[in-house]
Structure 1
Amino acid sequence: MAIKSACLLEWVKKRYEGKIIPLSNVPYIQHVSAVAEIAAHYTAFGYEAGLCHDMLEDGICSNDELISALSSCSYSLGERKAILALVLELTDHYTCEAYPELSKKERRRKESKRLRKVSAAAQTVKYADLLYNMDWKLRYEPEKVQRYLKRKIRLLERLDKGSTTLHQKVLDHAYSLNPNNVH
């Protein structure tokens, strides 16, 4: 691991200290680290975006705090801008707080539509996030996994700009977990 990314990992670990994934008691850092490790193989700044992809929407840090952390880890101005741009693309826009008048279903629909327009790199990181989340859902909420997979397969079929290799891997995995191949 490069010095810059190791520095960022330490900062992210501190920010997520004590945070757990609901229902599982798994430290949240395991999720973002896993997404980072997957995405790193498929796109530039996939590792960094994977580590930080939930930080803004979860209120773990602000844009300025993320930029400051990247700077202190020796990322260049161009690298900082690229990483922040990816994280912003991956941050949910249609949240309950921002759009309380919309139903959960409508917010999901709008978010899926928005994700279709993000960059290839952001879609690639999203594929990594979905790959992790499918296995998490299967392990901790098996009663909800088929409905979840149906939604995510539909989303994946529409997100077609990212790494074709990872996209196919995630779709194949989703179909393998969905024995009825309902989509």
Structure 2
Amino acid sequence: MISKSEFLLNWVKKKYGGKIIPVSDVPYIDHVMAVAEIAANYAVFGYEAGLCHDMLKDHICTDVELIDALSSCAYSLAEINTIMVLVLELTDKYTSGAFPKLSKRERRRKENKRLSKVSATAQTIKYADLLYNMDWKLRYEPEKAKRYLKRKIRLLQRMDKGSTALRKKALDHAYSYI
């Protein structure tokens, strides 16, 4: 019998379809699966929230569609609420669409400040996201990696509520390349 998380993974795979990460031609599903697999080892519902963490930001689905999907995967109402809170915490709020008058730098600063205040579980999942993104940047845009890693170190220094072990792993990884 297929588990709830396997059912969810199949739904997420269908929703992402052929979407690829620009520059690398890596299927986007590889990113969310990697984040989910890392986060699963450190956070309750880390797998589920990791799979879904970019879906609302990237307009892959609406919050209602995600709730319906989680329900159809047999997650309880309490589990759905927990997963949705995490996904919403991980969804960028300071986007160019929502704040067109703010510069990219100012939006990033506000987003980082917001992330420093999200729950410990959301921060843990974000650490997993950052680990994947650091490796991606080093592989596909090495000329931009040093600057990127410095920004992510500053973010990780502010985000101090999540898994100590995963945060340390992310910080050590970033520091090893600058």
* TM-score band, normalised by shorter chain: over 0.9
Match of 2:140 in 1: 140
**Which amino acid in 2 is paired with 1:134?**
M
**Residue 97 of structure 2 corresponds to which residue in structure 1?**
97
Cα offset, 1:177, TM superposition: 1.5
Deviation of residue 152 (structure 1)?
0.3
The C-alpha deviation readout for 1:132-157, integer Å capped at 9, x for no partner, is: 00000000000000000010000001
Counterpart of 2:155 in structure 1 is 155
**Identical-residue share of aligned pairs (%):** 73
Cα distance between partner residues in 2 of 1:167 and 1:25? 28
For residues 43 and 26 of structure 1, the distance between their equivalents in structure 2, rounded to whole angstroms, comes to: 26
- Superposed, 1:1-183 pairs within 5 Å as 3-178=3-178
What's the TM-score, normalizing by structure 1?
Answer: 0.96
Q: Cα deviations across residues 128-182 of structure 1 (Å, max 9, x unaligned)?
A: 000000000000000000000010000001100000010001101111121xxxx
Shift of 1:8: 0.3
CA distance in 1, matches of 2:35, 2:57: 16
CA distance in 2, matches of 1:122, 1:149: 20
Q: Secondary structure at the match of 1:177?
A: coil
Aligned equivalents of 1:80 and 1:41: distance in 2?
19
Deviations 1:41-95 (A, max 9, x none): 0000000000000000100000100000000000000000000000000000000
**Runs of 4+, deviation exceeding 4 Å:** none
**What is the one-letter code of the residue matched to 1:46?**
G
Mapped partners of 1:59, 1:41: distance in 2: 27
Return 5+ residue gaps in structure 1 as ranges: 179-183
Q: 2: distance between equivalents of 1:139 and 1:165?
A: 24
Give the AA of the match of 1:59: H
- Give the number of aligned pairs: 177
